[in-house]
Amino acid sequence: MDAVLNFVINEIFGQGAIFLALIALIGLILQKKPVSEIVRGTIMTAIGFFVLNTGTGLITGSSIDGIISAFNTVMPQAVETTSVDIGGEYGTEIGIVMILAFLVNILFARFTKWKTIFLTGHMFYWFPYVFIAAGVGAGLSGAPLIALAAIFTSLYFIISPNLIRPFVTKATGDDSFTLGHPTTGLSVISGLVARAVGDPSHSTEDIKVPKSLGFLREVSITGSILVALSYVAMFFVLQANGYDPAEVWGYAGGTTGIFTYVFTHAVYFGVGMTVMMQGVRMLIAEIVPAFQGIAEKIVPGAIPALDCPVIFPYGPNALIIGFIVALITSIITILVTTAMGVFPTVVIPLVTTCFFEIGAASIICNAQGGVRGTIIGAALCGVLAVLLVGFGAYFFNNTIQDWMLVYGGQDFDIWGMICGAVARLIAGVA
């Protein structure tokens, strides 16, 4: 039984490509497609996932890691955090929660009017991971810990994709999919604000660019230029604070210098964007039609909830504008809150959150309020992301705060703090 459980947890739910390929396989079989189409659709779904993941890895790893390390060097953490290997020590509990939450999600979609099914592979792991950490931080263990994490994970898988669905439909003009991603909280809040203050008729995608600057309409090129400028700025910041950029960034003593380092990292961002967009197109082209088999036979009317990059092609200008605005407002918020000593930790630039979660939110803001709505919404998200990570430290400083400093600032913190508060109430009663 343990071997079966470990296989399901690690080899299916724990592997996004395999999980989505299995969903595509089931959907195509239920539609009674020819064997050739079943094989093609299943394998192409896995390939699309890996292409998408490769692009994401280039953006978050090879491209912007130096910006984060430079800022962290200039502003080291004021308070030490205590890390717990949640994944290692509570792997079985996380796996049980993953399976329970997915089954609850399917049953709920089958028998209620909320028809979304959460399919973002890696988030199957990370939400139970966060909720288990919140429970452990409050002193829970055993059955109460599993039950709490399972309830919160199930609720998230059901509520979040349905909550954001009308915003996704408005942004894409397509109701065949929604998002299953921690961008939901920021996207809904900023989307409502954008609707109130903006004008959707003035879209970011209609911005006129002079012919001489036409290359800026290529999101990969624009992103690369912005990353290059960010590295140049951090170069001077490091020098002004007495640090040698060559030592911080690891090219000291090598055959190349700052020019090659900045150029390479900037272009990696463009490569990552290009690869990621291709992966998005491939994944959507395969998983949505294949999913119709499940929607017709198992859960009538079911809608897949997918990773946030699937929305990026619907507003590339909004994505870049939102990323820039959010990065600026988040860094200003970090500087202000650090000077005031508001949080029990120093927050580092949330580059990943600004690009992915707030980038998706910016596309939703554009659909709701155009250019003005996008700028105001992204600025608000930048501030909120820092506040969420900072206040989240009160719940995660003894477990996964180091991880939250890189990947938090959205639903992980919003839902994690709520789960942590409930866990403390349970622990207090117990």
Ordered DSSP codes for 58-113 = IIIIIITHHHHHHHHHHS--SS------HHHHSHHHHHHHHHHHHHHHHHHHHHSS
Q: Distance between CA 32 and CA 28 in Å, rounded?
A: 6
- pLDDT for the residue 78: 47
Q: Distance between CA 171 and CA 335 in Å, rounded?
A: 33
Give the largest Cα separation in the chain, rounded.
68
- 386-410 residue pLDDT tens: 999 999 999 998 898 888 887 899 9
- pLDDT for the residue 124: 83
- pLDDT for the residue 227: 83
Q: Distance between CA 61 and CA 145 in Å, rounded?
A: 33
Strands of 178-179's sheet in order across = 116-118, 303-306, 178-179
- pLDDT for the residue 57: 79
Contact 283, 48 (CB under 8 A): yes
Residue type, 377: G
Say how far residue 5 (Cα) sits from the centre of its chain: 27
Range from 90-94, 141-145, 170-174, 355-359 carrying the lowest mean pLDDT = 90-94
Is the model's pLDDT at 139 over the cut of 60?
Answer: yes
Q: Which of 83-87, 94-98, 185-189, 298-302 has the highest mean pLDDT?
A: 185-189
Position with higher pLDDT, 14 vs 347:
347
Q: Distance between CA 248 and CA 251 in Å, rounded?
A: 8
Cα distances (angstroms) measured from residue 390 to each of 342, 345, 408, 421: 8, 7, 10, 16
Position with higher pLDDT, 367 vs 237:
367
Is the model's pLDDT at 8 over the cut of 80?
Answer: no
Q: For residue 307, which of 330, 290, 282 has the smallest C-alpha distance?
A: 282
Burial-class residue 212 by CB neighbours within 10 Å (0-12, 13-18, 19+): exposed
Question: Mean pLDDT across the stretch 302-309?
Answer: 91
Q: Where are the alpha helices (DSSP H) in 173-305?
A: 184-197, 219-240, 245-249, 258-297
- pLDDT for the residue 403: 84
Position with higher pLDDT, 374 vs 99:
374
In DSSP terms, which residues pair with 306 in a beta bridge? 179
Dihedrals φ, ψ of 75, to 5°? -125, 75
- pLDDT for the residue 220: 81
Q: Which of 157-161, 230-234, 345-349 has the highest mean pLDDT?
A: 157-161
Q: Residue 122: which H helix or E strand, with range?
A: helix 121-138
Residue type, 72: N
